[in-house]
Structure 1
Amino acid sequence: MRVREVMSGPVLVVAVRSTVRDAAAALAAHGLSDVPVVDEEDRFVGMLAEADLVPDPSGDRRGTAAVEPLVRTNAPTATPDGDLLGLVHRMREADVRVVPVLDGGRVAGIVTLADLLRVLKDAR
C-alpha cells in the first residue's frame, strides 16, 4: 500500500515567521496536536507540536516570539509514492503521531496515527 492511499489533505500549515500565539490559536481551532511549518516559498521546514508552544513555567513569554526556534527540523517525512509499511516503522522509531507527506519539498498531505488505525480497521 502506498502513502497516497492513506494521507489526508489539504493540510493546515504554519509559516515559520508566525508567532507562537498565532500558531497555538491555529492548532487549538483545528484540534491538532502537530502541524507542518513552511518557509516563505511554502517549502517544508519541520514540525511544530502543541507541547512546543506551552509557555515555560519560569515565566518565559513566548506569545509574540516567532515559532522558528521551536520547529523540529529532524521530523520524519514521507512521499506520496512511499511504502506505507516503511512509514509505519519510521513513525514508531521516531515516536511521532503525525508525518507530513512531501511532494517536491512542499506539503501535499499528512498521515496520522488515526489514518493508520482506520486502515487497520478496514483491512480484511
Structure 2
Amino acid sequence: MNDIIKLDETNIISILHSGDTLKAAGKPFVKQIYLVDAHIAGTMYVDNIEELEPNLVVGKKLNFYREPENPHDKLAIVVKDDQGNKIGYVPRNKNEVLARLMDAGKLIYGTIHEKEYRDDWLNVSMQIYLDD
C-alpha cells in the first residue's frame, strides 16, 4: 500500500497506460470505445522520426499525454509510442473533447491505422479510443 501512496503523476500515467495493472485489479467491464480518426500532427518536427518509423506498425498502440503548459495550445495532447518516444500531437482540430476527457481522468489512446511517406513527411493516421 505504501508504494501506491508514493506514486507521482508520471508513475500513475504509466500504470494507466500499461493496462496490465488495471486488468490485474479486476476491472471486468472495461470496453474500448472508438471515438475518431486523425493523423498525427507534427511528425515533421520529430528529429529522429526516420529511426522511429520502422516500429510504427499498423495496430500498434499509441499513448496520449496532456501537455497543458504547451505555449501554442493549452489543450495539446502528445502522442508517444510504447517506448515513450514522442511521435507528434493529436491535431488541434480534434483535441478539445479528448483533452477534456483526459483531464477528467479518462484513458484515451490511439492505434496506428496506416502510414506512408509523402515526400519527406511521414503521414501516420490513427484511430482514437476511450477505455471505459
Q: TM-score, normalised by structure 2?
A: 0.28
The structure in which a higher percent of residues are strand is 2
Q: TM-score, normalised by structure 1?
A: 0.29
